[in-house]
């Protein structure tokens, strides 16, 4: 019997692509409000892991459950309602080229509207407009509402991707490399948004990243609504493992070879794991 | 011993080729089945159907008109010489209308549209695939077959017969220009009455049935190669080429099949 608050549950999940393991015997469990930072070399299966969560790839073995419901045994059209409760930021943003920024962010709202809802077409549209603008304001890009993805920089597209992932306020959000290839300032802005989203709405999140700092930020900072900024988590809470809702995962060739807190990660002496930890000189 | 090894290697290579080919064909049939099923299922994306009809139909009009006119004129030129040797140049209208309506109109138009739109569809869907837009669509609760494949299928199946009718009409006119004012083989009334009377219902059925089938083939093949694209931008290029080649080959093969059935009727 899974825990009531268990949001995500992987049990011995394996997936092979033409003989190479993309996921190998992966087991994971996340409760509501928890965060996992996923580190690993290129091609180690991080994106595949995220896609498997919402059934975008079919696994060969094992079971995946989100919100207590099984993903792995469902057919594609039975997954749509479940996917509505998870937001995903794709590695390259994956914005729809043919739609404007506003339409991109509205898309999940217009699409995942439960059927038979009150209100006519026009009021639904204006409500979606409103919420899309809010989500864009959250990522500080409201002025781009009528532009097209091709007119935006890579970092801006990534932020629009975040807006699209969070606009329906899903309880589970999957971020695939939110900071890859960005300058440090933009990267920090984005991670601050991710942390803010987590603390304001208590979302559960999986974050794939290449930057160790991103994980540090998620683990050591917390959004303070009064001051409207991130503040460091007090030192005594950082050391107490019962407080740490942020854990790190290191993947290698499809396998999870490390799972633990930031301190455990920093004291781990596996050569592969060490590569992903920044040690103070 | 040595030869045996080669034979085994050769046959296993052939076997591998056959199994991958059959596997792809099976996937194609599954995609086609899903796309057809969605024609009658909700939600319907009418906006996308009209947009595709505009891109495929209206967009192809200029090239279809040009090609139609020239092919009609060329057939008239060639036929007038051949018919002259039999003293049958009065039949030029009949010959032109038969070849155009039955074969050349449907096949040439389909080949043009395959070159223009099977490639367009494959590259558009292929780019969406490699930039994860297809995955994003699925993640956001939209069935890519419903949203992308079915509108293209419907639009092409409707527009290709229309384009073919246009090509036939323009082709007849092109032949008229050669036969009547240019070569003065027959009078204008003779030309139009012989060309019209040459056609029977069977010809019109073939002339419209073929493009209907070709239209579905073109859209489905374009979508199929687009959606199975892998390997970045290079993969998109590959998918585009494969789509055009496959669509063209299938157009000829299906023409052959249909003719085999109808000619014997
Ligand atoms: N569609 C696919 N077809 C075949 N192999 C694939 C496919 N997608 C992923 N793979 C393979 O699966 C493995 C894991 O890929 P994945 O995209 O999950 O890596 P990743 O950890 O996200 O890498 P990166 O950090 O570069 O994004 C790789 O070896 C990759 O080659
Ligand atoms: Mg990846």
| Nearest CA-CA partner of A170 in A125, A124, A204, A218 | A204
- Residue A145: closest CA among A187, A185, A99, A94: A99
B132 Cβ neighbours under 8 A, 6+ residues apart: A90, A91, A92, A94
Task: Return the structure tokens found at B12.
Answer: 């296993």
| CA Rg value for chain A | 19
Cβ contacts of A158 within 8 Å, gap of 6 or more: A89, A93, A178, A179, A182, A190
Q: Which two tokens stand for residue A88?
A: 């995903």
Q: How far is the CA of A56 from the centre of ligand 1 (A)?
A: 13
Domain ranges in chain A are 1-85+172-281, 94-169
Residues with Cβ within 8 Å of B183's Cβ and at least 6 positions away in sequence, in order, are B76, B77, B80
- Chain A / chain B CB contacts < 8 angstroms: 49
CB distance B141–A77 less than 8 Å? Answer: no
Hey, where are the domains in chain B?
42-264
Phi first, then psi: give them for residue B6, nearest 5 degrees: -65, -40
Interface check for B259 against chain A (CB to CB < 8 A): the answer is no
Q: How far is CA A59 from CA A55, A256, A259, in A?
A: 8, 16, 21
**B185-216 pLDDT, tens digit each:** 888 888 898 888 888 888 888 889 999 999 99
**Count of other CB atoms within 10 angstroms of residue B84:** 13
Which residue(s) pair with A9 in the sheet? A29, A65
Question: What is the C-alpha separation between A173 and A204, in angstroms, rounded?
Answer: 6
Does A96 contact B at CB distance below 8 Å?
A: yes
Q: For an interface test with B, which of A80, A81, A91, A164 has the most B Cβ atoms less than 10 Å from its Cβ?
A: A80
Cβ atoms of B98 and B206 within 8 Å: the answer is: no
A29: β partners = A9
Nearest to A54 among B132, B139, B142 (CB): B139
Select from A16, A23, A37, A44 the residue to mutate for testing ligand 1; criterion: most ligand atoms less than 8 Å from CB.
A44
The tens digit of pLDDT for each residue in A210-266 reads: 888 888 888 888 888 788 778 887 776 666 655 678 888 999 888 888 888 888 888
Alpha-carbon Rg for chain B, nearest whole angstrom, is 22
φ, ψ dihedrals at A199, nearest 5° = -80, -30
* pLDDT higher than threshold 60 for residue B157: yes
Nearest to A165 by CA among A71, A249, A257, A91: A91
Looking at beta carbons, which residues of chain B come within 8 Å of A76? Answer: 138, 143
Tokens of B68: 């139609």
Q: Which atom of ligand 1 is nearest to the CA of A41?
A: 25
pTM of the model: 0.88
Q: Cβ of B136 under 8 Å from any chain A Cβ? A: yes
**pLDDT tens-digit profile of A7-64?**
888 889 999 998 888 899 889 988 888 899 999 988 898 999 999 999 999 989 989 9
The per-residue pLDDT for A281 is 40
CA angle B36, B38, B44 (to 5 degrees): 130
Q: State the pLDDT confidence band at B81, using cuts at 50, 70 and 90.
A: confident
Q: What is the CATH number of domain A1-85+172-281?
A: 3.40.50.300
């Amino acid at each position: 019997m899974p825990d009531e608050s268990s949001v995500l549950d992987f049990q011995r999940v394996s997936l092979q692509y033409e003989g190479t393991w993309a996921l190998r015997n992966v087991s994971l469990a996340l409760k509501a409000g928890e965060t996992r930072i996923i580190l690993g070399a290129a091609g180690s299966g991080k994106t595949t892991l995220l896609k498997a969560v919402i059934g975008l790839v079919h696994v060969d073995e094992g079971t995946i459950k989100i919100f207590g419901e099984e993903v792995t045994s469902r057919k594609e059209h039975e997954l749509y309602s479940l996917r509505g409760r998870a937001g995903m930021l794709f590695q390259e943003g994956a914005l729809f080229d043919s739609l404007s920024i506003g339409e991109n962010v509205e898309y999940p709202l217009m699409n995942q509207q439960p059927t038979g809802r009150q209100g006519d077409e026009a009021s639904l549209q204006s409500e979606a407009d409103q919420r899309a603008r809010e989500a864009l304001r959250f990522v500080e890009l409201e002025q781009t509402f009528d532009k097209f993805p091709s007119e935006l920089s890579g970092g801006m597209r990534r932020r629009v991707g975040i807006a699209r992932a969070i606009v329906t306020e899903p309880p589970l959000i999957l971020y695939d490399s939110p900071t890859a290839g960005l300058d440090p300032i933009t990267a920090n802005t984005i991670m601050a948004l991710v942390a803010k989203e987590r603390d304001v709405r208590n979302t559960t999140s999986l974050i794939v990243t290449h930057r160790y700092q991103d994980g540090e930020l998620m683990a050591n900072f917390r959004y303070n609504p009064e001051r409207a900024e991130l503040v460091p988590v007090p030192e005594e809470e950082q050391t107490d493992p019962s407080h740490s809702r942020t854990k790190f995962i290191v993947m290698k060739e499809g396998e999870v070879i490390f799972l633990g807190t930031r301190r455990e990660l920093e004291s781990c002496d596996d050569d592969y794991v060490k590569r992903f930890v920044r040690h103070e000189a | 011993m040595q030869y045996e090894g080669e034979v085994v290697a050769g046959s296993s290579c052939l076997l591998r080729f056959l199994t991958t080919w059959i596997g792809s064909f099976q996937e194609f049939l599954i995609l086609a089945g899903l796309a057809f099923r969605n024609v009658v299922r909700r939600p319907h994306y009418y906006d996308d159907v009209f947009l595709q009809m505009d891109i495929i139909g209206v967009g192809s009009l200029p090239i279809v008109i040009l090609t139609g006119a020239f092919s009609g004129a060329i057939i008239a030129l060639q036929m007038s010489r051949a018919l002259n040797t039999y003293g049958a140049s009065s039949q030029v209208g009949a010959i032109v209308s038969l070849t155009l309506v039955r074969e050349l109109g449907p096949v040439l138009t389909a080949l043009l549209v395959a070159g223009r739109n099977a490639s367009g569809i494959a590259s558009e869907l292929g780019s969406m695939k490699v930039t994860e837009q297809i995955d994003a669509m699925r993640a956001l609760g939209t069935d890519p077959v419903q949203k992308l494949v079915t509108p293209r299928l419907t639009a092409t199946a409707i527009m290709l017969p229309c384009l073919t009718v246009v090509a036939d009409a323009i082709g007849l006119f092109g032949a008229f220009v050669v036969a009547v004012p240019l070569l003065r083989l027959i009078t204008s009334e003779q030309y139009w009455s012989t060309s019209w009377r040459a056609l029977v219902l069977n010809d019109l059925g073939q002339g419209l049935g073929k493009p209907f089938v070709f239209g579905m083939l073109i859209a489905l093949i374009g979508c199929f190669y687009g959606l199975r694209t892998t390997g970045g931008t290079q993969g998109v290029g590959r998918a585009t080429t494969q789509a055009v080649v496959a669509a063209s080959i299938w157009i000829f093969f299906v023409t052959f099949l249909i003719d085999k059935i109808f000619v014997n009727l």
